[in-house]
Structure 1
C-alpha cells in the first residue's frame, strides 16, 4: 500500500509540473527583470528592517530557477512557489524531526520531503530537505483606475464601476485592515511571517523604477487575467495572503498603477499602499562665494546685489559683509525666521530700501550689524529681542523719541561715524533702553554730552566729537557709569564743572587725551583708578589733586605733554603713593626725576624717556640705604620695603650712563629691566 501511494505521488507531481510550466514561464521572466532592477537594493535595505533571527539570504539573480508546483497529499492543497531553491540561509522556527533526514514536523504532524501545506490563508509552506519554508502570494500587476478585492481572495481585481459595490467586495483602501497581520503563533507552530517595511530610500527607488515597469506590466495583463480565472476555481481550497501595494498617481488622469512585490522569497509583505510622494521643495542653491557651516551662512564679498533666498528654520547666523545689497524687502527673512545674528556691514543699503516689516519676523534676533551703509535713520520695527545694534559709519542725522522704541533688551548700541548732535538727537531718544550699558557715539557732531542717558549706562564713548563742556547735570542719572572716553575733543579744565562727576561711586576710568587741558583737572571722581591725559598741553600737576581718591589712583598716563620740573610739586602725587602701579611721564620737558617716585611702593612701570633728564640721583627712584657705620650707630634702623619696580625707561635723555651711581637702581631686581640707551648728545 505504501509503495502504491509513492507511485501515485510522483505521477501527480509530474502532471502538475507540466500543467504549470506555461503559467510560470512568464512569472520567471518578470522575476528576472525585477531582480535586475532591485536585487541590490533589496539585499541591503531588507537586512536592516528584519530581525537578526529571521534574516535570510536573497537569491542571486543569476541563480533563479523556475517555479515548481507542489502538492500536499495530506491536505490536498495545490500551490505555486517562486524560487524556493537557494534559500538555505532562512532560519525557520519549525523543528526538523531528529533522526529522519528530509522530514519536517508542523502542527505536531510529520511532513515528508517536498510536502506542501497551507497553515493560514494566503500562506503556503514547503518541506525542503528537512527545512520548512513558507511563501506568500504574489499578485499580478493592474493598470485599471479602480481596484477591489473580492471576498475570499488575496489579490485585487479591476472594478468595472466605482459607484456601487457589493458588500462582499473589499476596497483597496481597506486592505491594511486585513493584510498587515502575521499568522497566529499557535497556528504556525510559533513561526512568524515577517512583513516588509520599506525605508524612505526604498520608496524613492520604487517610484523611479515603476515607470520602467509599467510597459512591461501592460504586456502581461492578459496573462494575469487568465491566472485569476484559475485562482477563482481553486480559492475554496487555498487562500492567498493579501499584500499591500504602493499606488502611483500620474497627473490628473486618476490612474492607479500597482506594483508587484519586490520580495521573491515571499517572506516579506509589502504595505497595501504608500502615500503619494511629493518631492520636497528645495530652496535655490546658495550663490557662488557663499559657504555654510552648521547653523551659519557666510557670503562675505560675494558680489551679491540682494539678500539670497534661503529657507532654513535652523539657521541662526547670516553674514553678508562686503556686498552690493541696496534693499531689504519685507519678505527677505521669511525662510529664516530663527536668525539670532545678522551682519550686513559694508553694503549700499539705504533707509528707503528697508521694508517696514523687514525685521519684524525675526523673533529671536539678538545682534544686528549695519556698519558702512547709507542709512539716514535707524530702521523701524526692530525686534524687541535685540541685544546689540551697530550702525557705525552711516549717514544718520537724527534720532527721534521713537527711533529706539521697544528695545528694552538692548545692551550695546554703536552709532559712531554719523552726523548726530545734541540738536538732532531727542533727549527722550534713549529712554526706552532699559538695559543699555554700552553706548558708542564717537565721530559725530556733539558739542556737549548728550542728554537723557540711560540710568543703566556703564560705558560711554564720545571720542572725536566737538565737546567743549561737561556740565554738572550730565551724569546725574547714570549712577552705574564706569568708563567715560572723551578723547579728541575740545575740553578745557575750567569747562569741566566741579560737580560733574566727583560724586560718582563707580566711575573708575576717564580718558581725556588730546583735549586742551593745561593742568590736571581737579574734582576728579573719588572712585577713579585710571586717568589718561595723553596729548594735552599740561604743564602742572597741582598738589593734593589725587588726595581725595579712595582707594586711590592706580594708572596715570601723562605722556606727550609740557610738564617741567616746576610743574610737579613734592605733594603732587599725594594720595597715590601707596596705590599707583603705572606712571607715564615720557615725552615731556622734565630735566630731573620728579620727587615722590621713591615713595611709590607699588609702582611697577615707570616711563621717563624722551625728556631732558641729565642725571639720576640715588634717592630719586630707590630709597637711599644706610651705610654700615650708620647701622652700628643707630639700633633703631628703619626697615625699608622691597620695591616692586619691574621696568624703568630712561632712554632718549641726556644721561651720562658712566656717571650714574651704583645705588641709583639698587631697588630693581634685574638691571635688564632698566632701559638707558640710546641717549641724546649735548
Structure 2
C-alpha cells in the first residue's frame, strides 16, 4: 500500500511539471506557436549536467537521471533533475505500418528504448510522391525533420525500431533533368548542385526550389544550399546564338554545324546534306576544308558565292548547280576533279557566273564554260594544250591564269587567244615555253611568263600588244643577243620589265621608251653600255642591278645618261665594284643608293656629294657596309650633302681597322 501511494505521488508531480513548465528549446530560443509550433518539435538536445544523482518514476518504472524511455509510439520521456520531460518524435515506419494493419490497436510490446535505438524517418504524405526517394539532407548533414509533417499517434505501446541504412537517391543526368523541366513534365524546379569533391556527398542531391511557374525568368533562383540556379529558358538541344563571322567579302555569316541556323526557306532541303564547319550567310555558302566528298544538289536563288576549296570532291552531278541561277563566284580549287568530273551542261544555267577557280586539280583540258566568265583560274593542273576552241565564247574574260601546267610551243595554237578580246591579265608561269607565245590579244596589259625555258624574244611577237604595261620574263634563259632589236621598242605603254634570273651579260639595248622599272638582278651583267638609257622619256625610276658581275670599268660616265632627273633608286649591291661608280653624282633625284657587299676601298671627295653645291641632296639611304673601306680615310665632307648622318651605313666592313 505504501509503494502504490509513492508511485501515484511521483506520477502526479511528473504530470504537473510537464504541463506547467514549457520545454526548453535549443540555443535558448522561445517556443513557437501556431503553424511553426506544429512544424518544428519542441525539445532540447543540449546535454543536461545534473549536480546530484536523482531518479524518476514513470508508470511504475524507475528512471535514473538522464535516462530516456518511450512509453508510447511517437513519444519519448526523459528524466531530468528528478522530473519527467516527455516530447513528441517522428513516428517510426514500422509503428505506423503496424498501426494501420491493426486498425489502431496497440502493437506488440518490445523492450524499452535504449541508447542503441535509432529513430526511423516519418512516412511521407501521398502528395509529396514527386520528390526523390530517400530523405533530403540539410547542408550540415542532419535530417531535415523540421519541414516534414508529423503523424498524430495515440498508441501507447513502446516501440524500438532499428532503421536500416537507406541508399542515397540516384542523381539524375543533367541533360534529362533539363529536358524534363523545360518540357513541363516536372511539377517542381529542381536545383542540381555540382559535386566537385566526392560523388557520395549528400550535397550533390537535387533539391526542390519552388514551382517552375514561380521562377523569375532569367534571374538566379536561391535554394537552401545558397547556390544560384538559372532557370532553363532555352529549348533543350537548341544551338546557342552566335555572332556573325566576317569573311573577306565583308558579309556577315554564321557558323553551320549541321542544323538549320539560317532562317531561309529555300535552305531546308539541302542544309542537312552539308558537312559541319560550313559558313553561311544570305548570299554565301563556304565549306572549305571540311572533307566534303561530293557536292549535294543546292537550290537557292539567293546564293552568289559558293566556296568549296580544299576538299575531296571528284564528281559534280549534272543538276548540282542548276538551282543557283544567281551564282557569281565558284571556287572548286584543291579538290580531285578531272576531265570526267564535269557533266556537259553543268555550267549551262550559271548565266551570271563571273569568277571560277579550278586551281589544284587533275584537269588535262579546259571544260566547257559559261560565256559570262570574267575571271578563270586553272593553275596547278595537268592541261596538255590549248586549241582555237578552248576559250570560244569567253569574250568577257578579263583575267586568265594557267600557271604550272604542261604547255609548250607545240601544243598552244596561235589562235588560242583570239576569242579573248577583252583579256587584260594573262599568267603562263611555270610551263615549258621556249619563246614568247604568239597571237596574244591586243587588249593585254599584263603578261607573266616567269619560270619557263624562254631563250628568245622574236621580232614582231609583241607587235599587237600595244597596251602592255607589265612584262615578266624572269627565271628564264634569255641572252641579250637573242632579243630582237625591235622586240619591244614600240611598246609605248610598257613601264615594268622584269628580266631577273636570266643569262644577260650586259644591259639590253632598245628598251621601251616609257619604261619606269627595270629589274636585272641575278644575271651575269658586266657592263652598262653608254647611252643605253638616253632615249627614255621621262626615264627610269628604279634600276635593280644587284647580284651581277659589274666592275668599275664596266660603268661609263654616260652610262646613266637619260636618268639624271628621274632615277630615285639604284641598287648595285653584291657586285665586283672596287670604287664608287662614275656618274652617280649627276643623279639629282636619287634617294636610295646601295653599294654594299662590293670591294670598294675608298670614298673620294665629290663621288657621292658635290661639295661645290650648297643645296642638300635628296639621298635618304646610302649603304656601303661589307666593303674594304677604312673609315678613318673618308674625307669629312664626303657625305656633307646628306641631311642625316644616320642615313649612311658604313659598318661593318670586311676588314675592320685593327686599332678599333
TM-score of the aligned structures, taking structure 1 as reference length: 0.56
Q: SS of the residue aligned with 2:462?
A: coil
Separation in 2, partners of 1:495, 1:587: 26
Map of 2:423 onto structure 1: 436
Task: Report if aligned partners of 2:452, 2:476 keep a CA contact under 8 Å in 1.
Answer: yes
Separation in 1, partners of 2:625, 2:338: 53
Q: SS of the residue aligned with 2:570?
A: strand
Map of 1:242 onto structure 2: none
Separation in 1, partners of 2:296, 2:270: 10
Q: Does 1:532 align with 2:519?
A: yes
- Report the alpha carbon displacement of residue 640 of structure 1 after superposing the two structures with TM: 5.2
Separation in 2, partners of 1:510, 1:430: 22
Task: Report if aligned partners of 1:442, 1:465 keep a CA contact under 8 Å in 2.
Answer: yes
- Which of 321, 338, 353 is 2:309 aligned to? 321
Task: Report if aligned partners of 1:601, 1:641 keep a CA contact under 8 Å in 2.
Answer: no
Q: Does 1:517 align with 2:504?
A: yes
| CA-to-aligned-CA distance 1:96-136 (integer Å, 9 cap, x gap) | xxxxxxxxxxxxxxxxxxxxxxxxxxxxxxxxxxxxxxxxx
Residue pairs, 1:92-171, within 5 angstroms: none
- Which of 317, 337, 353 is 2:341 aligned to? 353
| CA-to-aligned-CA distance 1:519-576 (integer Å, 9 cap, x gap) | 0001111111110001000000000000011111111000000000111011111111
Separation in 2, partners of 1:430, 1:445: 18
- Report the alpha carbon displacement of residue 283 of structure 1 after superposing the two structures with TM: 2.5
Map of 1:508 onto structure 2: 495
Separation in 1, partners of 2:549, 2:652: 22
Q: Does 1:307 align with 2:301?
A: no
Greater fraction of residues in helix? 1
The root-mean-square deviation of aligned C-alpha atoms, in Å, is 1.5
| CA-to-aligned-CA distance 1:208-252 (integer Å, 9 cap, x gap) | xxxxxxxxxxxxxxxxxxxxxxxxxxxxxxxxxxxxxxxxxxxxx
State the number of aligned residues.
Answer: 391
Q: Does 1:667 align with 2:641?
A: yes
Separation in 1, partners of 2:552, 2:268: 80
- Report the alpha carbon displacement of residue 310 of structure 1 after superposing the two structures with TM: 2.3
Residue pairs, 1:545-564, within 5 angstroms: 545-564=532-551
- Which of 361, 377, 382 is 1:373 aligned to? 361
Q: SS of the residue aligned with 1:435?
A: coil
Q: Does 1:677 align with 2:651?
A: yes
Distance 1:456 1:280, change over 3 A: closer
Q: Higher Cα Rg: structure 1 or 2?
A: 2
Structure 1's consecutive aligned runs of 4 or more residues displaced over 4 angstroms after TM superposition are 278-281
Q: Does 1:425 align with 2:412?
A: yes
Instruction: Return 5+ residue gaps in structure 2 as ranges.
Output: 1-264
Separation in 2, partners of 1:281, 1:670: 68
Separation in 2, partners of 1:280, 1:559: 58
Q: Does 1:483 align with 2:470?
A: yes
- Which of 373, 379, 382 is 1:386 aligned to? 373
Separation in 2, partners of 1:315, 1:442: 33
Map of 2:324 onto structure 1: 336
Q: SS of the residue aligned with 1:672?
A: helix
- Report the alpha carbon displacement of residue 657 of structure 1 after superposing the two structures with TM: 1.9
- Report the alpha carbon displacement of residue 364 of structure 1 after superposing the two structures with TM: 0.7
TM-score of the aligned structures, taking structure 2 as reference length: 0.58
Task: Report if aligned partners of 2:615, 2:641 keep a CA contact under 8 Å in 1.
Answer: no
Residue pairs, 1:255-294, within 5 angstroms: 282-285=269-272, 286-294=274-282
Distance 1:280 1:402, change over 3 A: closer
- Report the alpha carbon displacement of residue 293 of structure 1 after superposing the two structures with TM: 2.7
Q: SS of the residue aligned with 1:439?
A: strand
Map of 2:34 onto structure 1: none
Task: Report if aligned partners of 2:549, 2:576 keep a CA contact under 8 Å in 1.
Answer: yes
Map of 1:568 onto structure 2: 555
Task: Report if aligned partners of 1:455, 1:477 keep a CA contact under 8 Å in 2.
Answer: yes
Structure with the bigger RCO (C-alpha within 8 Å, sep 6+) is 1
Distance 1:279 1:667, change over 3 A: closer
Instruction: Return 5+ residue gaps in structure 1 as ranges.
Output: 1-277, 626-638
Separation in 2, partners of 1:281, 1:528: 58
Q: Does 1:579 align with 2:566?
A: yes
